[in-house]
Amino acid sequence: MKDYPIHPACDLIPEMTPDEYADLKESIGRHGVKDPVTLCDGQVLDGRNRYRATKDLRLPCPTVEYTGKKDMVSLLEFVLMRTKRRNLTTSQRAMLANEVRSQIEQLRGDDDGPRRKAADKGEGQSSHSSRATESAAKLAGVSERSMARAKQVQEQSPKLAEKVVKGEISLGAAEKALKKDDAASTKGAHVAPTVTDANGNDVPDKLVSVFESAVLAELAADVRAIRKRVKEIRSERIGTYIHEQTEVDLSNVANAIQFAKPFALCAYCLPTGLKGCKACRKSGFMTKDVFNAVPKEARG
């Protein structure tokens, strides 16, 4: 198999967790690569994990050539747009969108050269930044407000921002950590809602703990650990009669649990104060799959 280096723009996206990669590798081992890896001038622009899995499994890797504009701004925008295919949280996508916005502003600023330095000191710069923010938010499928929150966390604590990008904590958790550090100055001040759903809506207090809960992620990880142990036991004599399908079933259970996490407030009962309806099973929220099935005009 030919070796392809990773394109710098692809490094924007965080690596999969070991469990996620194990699931991807197992799926590719059974069914092959369904979505070809995208190459740009002989470098992997999109599909780093799929490419890595085929190398590990010594399987052929289908590829397609990127046909868009090849300036760095266009490449970053393409990679950011593709994050919507990954099982990334809204917090992760907001942080990535903010990083792309920052890089785009730098790149465009450098391209403008002395002319921009001499001219755009006020409204021009503001308009330029606004366009970059709007574009990045749209490509990542997040709100500009979420990006503003991501920018604030990045500026105040790069370490916390890195944890958000890796999916270890949410934006809300990072903000709470920052407020704890700055409790003296914020004591008694009014704190606006800081948790938003994937559609950019403020999550009401009664659902904040649900959206920030790590219970489903932890449960999915537990099931994956069981699946891994079952796989090990099947290779031993005691596991002779454990069917291979058991591993597949456990993998499906883990994915079902992971994808059951809240994605957005219910598009149908949001206008009525989230009193609950049949569409959201009276929970007030929707999973990603359920939300994607809602007609765009009804999403708000």
Model confidence over 52-67: pLDDT tens digits? 999 999 999 999 999 9
Nearest alpha-carbon partner for 151 in 110, 117, 103: 103
User: Has residue 299 got a pLDDT over 60?
Assistant: yes
What sign does the CA torsion over 13, 19, 23, 28 have? Answer: positive
Q: How confident is the model at residue 129 (pLDDT cuts 50, 70, 90)?
A: low
Pick among 2.60.120.380, 2.102.10.10, 3.90.1530.30, 3.90.1530.10: CATH of 8-67: 3.90.1530.30
Higher pLDDT, 216 or 201: 216
Residue 117 pLDDT class (50, 70, 90 cuts): very low
**pTM of whole model > 0.85?**
no
State how far the Cα of 129 lies from the Cα of 149, in Å rounded to an integer: 15
**CB 85 within 8 Å of CB 56:** no
Q: Residue 223 and residue 70: Cα distance in Å, rounded?
A: 42
To the nearest whole number, what is the mean pLDDT of the chain?
A: 83
pLDDT, tens digit, 9 for 90 and up, residues 94-115:
899 998 888 888 877 655 444 4
DSSP H helices in the chain: 18-31, 48-57, 72-82, 90-119, 123-140, 144-156, 158-165, 171-181, 183-186, 205-212, 215-234, 245-258, 288-292
243 and 259 in contact (C-beta within 8 Å)? no
Tell me the per-residue pLDDT of 254-291, one tens digit each, with 9 for 90 and over. Answer: 999 989 999 988 888 877 777 778 888 888 899 988 98
63-65 and 43-46: which strand pairing?
unpaired
- pLDDT at residue 118, as a whole number: 43
pLDDT above 60 (res 125): no
